[in-house]
Chain A
Amino acid sequence: MSLKLVIRRLLFLVLVIWAASTIVFFIPRLSNRNALRERFGELARTGGFSPADLEKIIASMNQQFGLDRPLYEQYWTYLGNILHLDFGYSLYRYPTTVAELIAQSLPWTLGLLLVTTILSFIIGNLLGAVAAWPRAPHWLRAFATPFILLTGVPPVIMGILLLFFIGFRLKWLPLGGAYSVGVVPTWTWTFFFDLMQHQILPALALIFGSVGGWVLSMRGMGVTIQGEDYVNFAEHKGLTGGRIFRDYYLRNAMLPQVTGLALALGTMVTSAIIVEGLFGLPGIGTMLNLAIRANDFPTIYGIVLFITIAVAVLMTIVEFIYPLLDPRVRSS
């Protein structure tokens, strides 16, 4: 890959991040709600200070957050802060910074999302590849169908079904939370197993929702590749079935799927946000959900931007990896 191409991709990445941050900045401002007023109004009702004091507090807070200045000035400050990854303070959980909030919740989301994305990518692609491979045993090829059917079920519904049957009726797994109530997170095996038990159902909800998509696209690709001349010639060469499947069929059919993986990361984040809420996991999704409800826009900015940057960076990485998988891209 040429240096020119690398620079072009990186410039594109910057452009994507700028566009995303601009959109993210203006959308919450279109609403008439005011997070400070809501929060301190609540305090005023319960804490008993006068409406005049309330106005003074809000005015001073507005000044402190720079909310009294014109919108375009705030926009410039905001862009400048983003440059050095400063997302500021949460309005609702002041004085916690947005960066701290993200740091707290990120590991939960990352763990769940990374594992489920990779698992469903591997399972889905293998099932899809086998489904399109004429020499695979029939019972193995039949596995693809139920997963394709499950694609139609959104992860939330799947999560509710799993919670109801496996969590509530069968009581095999816990109903929610990241770990059992009263357990203190420590680096021990007992905590690890407790943690894993709580992750199984949300992970299944996400995996069931996304495997089918991989199966479908991989099967479509596989049908084309298995009829290619080089797959036939591989058999003429007397190669074993396993080698033909892996090196000649799978490696070629996988290529578009890798691009698909980059795109799927975005979708997985959206699913994770909903599933986290459903299972009460303290991840980025839950955090974002709370921030939106409170119109805590610094937190919304921070999280959405963080997700956007993460997905954009991952996509760029995938684009840089792709030429290693497909030599034809390398030279063009």
Chain B
Amino acid sequence: MNEMLATAPARPSAGLGPRHAASDGPILRVSNLEVTYYTDSGRAKALDDVSFTLNSGEKLGMVGESGSGKSTLALAMMRMIKAPGRIEGGSVVVGGGDLMTLGAEDMRKARLSRIAYIPQGAMNSLNPVMRIGAQMIDAVKSHLPREGRAAIEARCKRALQSVDLDAGVFRMYAHELSGGMKQRVCIAIGILLDPHVIIADEPTSALDVVTQRQVMETIDNVQKAINAAVILIGHDMGLMAQFVDKVAVMYAGRLVEVSTVREMFTDPKHPYSRALISSLPSLGNKGVFQGIPGLAPSLLRLPSGCAFHPRCESAMPHCSTIRPQQQVLPGGRRVTCHLYDGEA
């Protein structure tokens, strides 16, 4: 199905084209990011010491159970954490500048132009009373106030074209589009200003499998066209495996492993990653699904030491007392587990 999309050449970019060629350093550097929610029943650390880097043109898949902090990470990087949540520390450096130190107005300008967020748009992310075109134009205008009307419109139409949407969509309303089309519009909006980093938060949930694949291919194509770093958030490991370069696994607000897709699927390092991979269904293995024993812990009452130790097959005595630190293994993989103490 859909060979045309799969083999389509790189699309023209919406704006100025790939302005950030692969340089030496990573385009995105997240360091020690911490987010806490101050709830009535206590403090919940939704992000705890999260660090990773991403190069231009790289795609990172962010996986983990519900409540593991994937979406919180996305919101924290956009600085859109709402009360009672607070970003307690850390930095998000995009193309040289730390977003966490920007003033409110500068952060507003950074959104979409430096770091873009693509929501799960199939349902409700588009304003029902505004035409799609108007919702694209206001996005460009709020960043490029001096750009002429014709130039803005041309930019918007190029963006629609690059996600395989007809230019006629420009004049339409959200309710006139299918779920997949709405999601493409959201992607088109995300790439309007050629951002360095694109975060797609579960872009394929609420879509059927055929549309899921098309949407992922669309993201793939636009990402290649503007050479952005992409973070894909989701829990469909299978879908992700086909599209990302690296996979990051989150557990209880902590990043437990970052590896390339191949390494993650052939040789997962962290016991939680292993359990995740072996719980995937496969064609060859038609037996009973293997789940992960136990439940994800409440962020309000995290186990001491390594948060995963009560469910871990390889737990050692000191796992329950000493918190493991993230280690960079030879070859660049990052693991947060006592099993690899001394290997870094």
Contact = CB atoms under 8 A, between A and B. Distances in A.
Interface of A: 134, 228-230, 232-240, 243, 247-248, 251-252, 255, 325-328, 331
Interface in B104-135: 108-113, 116-117, 119-121, 123-130
28 contacts: A229-B121, A230-B124, A230-B127, A230-B128, A232-B80, A233-B125, A233-B126, A233-B186, A235-B111, A236-B112, A237-B139, A237-B189, A238-B143, A239-B108, A239-B138, A239-B142, A240-B108, A247-B127, A247-B138, A248-B130, A251-B127, A251-B129, A252-B129, A255-B129, A325-B129, A326-B129, A328-B128, A328-B173
B189 A230 contact: no
A238 B139 contact: yes
Contact of A328 (B120, B138, B142, B175): B175
Given A238-B108, A238-B112, A331-B175, A230 B138 contact: no
Given A252-B127, A327-B128, A236 B176 contact: no
Contact of A243 (B111, B128, B138, B173): B138
Interface of B: 78, 80, 82-83, 108-113, 116-117, 119-121, 123-130, 138-139, 142-143, 173, 175-176, 186, 189
A237 B142 contact: yes
B125 A238 contact: no
A252 B175 CA distance: 14
Nearest to A235: B80
Given A229-B123, A240-B142, A247 B130 contact: yes
B193 to A, nearest CB: 9
B161 to A, nearest CB: 20
Contact of B175 (A235, A239, A248, A327): A327
Nearest to A236: B117
Nearest to B192: A237
B119 A232 contact: yes
Contacts of B78: 236
A241 to B, nearest CB: 8
B113 A238 contact: yes
Nearest to B104: A241
Given A230-B127, A237-B142, 9 more contacts: A232-B125, A233-B119, A236-B116, A248-B130, A251-B130, A252-B127, A252-B128, A327-B128, A327-B173
Given A236-B80, A328-B128, A331-B176, A243 B117 contact: no
A230 B116 CA distance: 15
B108 A230 contact: no
A232 B119 CA distance: 9
Contacts of A248: 127, 130
Contacts of B176: 331
Interface-central residue, B124, B125, B127, B173, by most chain A CB under 10 Å: B127
A62 to B, nearest CB: 59
A327 B108 contact: no
Contacts, number: 81
Contacts of A237: 111-112, 138-139, 142, 189
Contacts of A240: 108, 142
Contacts of A234: 127
Nearest to B111: A238
B129 A243 contact: no
Contacts of B111: 235-238
Given A235-B80, A236-B78, A238-B109, A228 B138 contact: no
Given A233-B121, A233-B186, A243-B142, A238 B110 contact: yes
A236 B121 CA distance: 13
Nearest to B117: A236
A229 B113 contact: no
Contacts of A239: 108, 138-139, 142
A134 B82 CA distance: 10
Contacts of B113: 238
Nearest to A328: B175
A236 B80 CA distance: 8
A146 B171 CA distance: 43
B176 to A, nearest CB: 7
B126 A230 contact: yes
Residue in B116, B120, B130 whose Cβ sees the most chain A Cβ within 10 Å: B130
Contacts of B116: 236
A229 B119 CA distance: 8
Contacts of B129: 251-252, 255, 325-327
Contacts of A325: 129
A252 to B, nearest CB: 6
A243 B110 CA distance: 17
Give the one of A229, A248, A326, A328 with max B CB within 10 A: A229
A153 B195 CA distance: 55
Contacts of A230: 124-128
A234 B139 CA distance: 8
B19 to A, nearest CB: 18
A234 B130 CA distance: 12
Contacts of A251: 127, 129-130
B69 to A, nearest CB: 18
A125 B224 CA distance: 47
A236 B111 CA distance: 6
Nearest to B120: A229
Nearest to B123: A229
A27 to B, nearest CB: 43
A234 B78 CA distance: 13
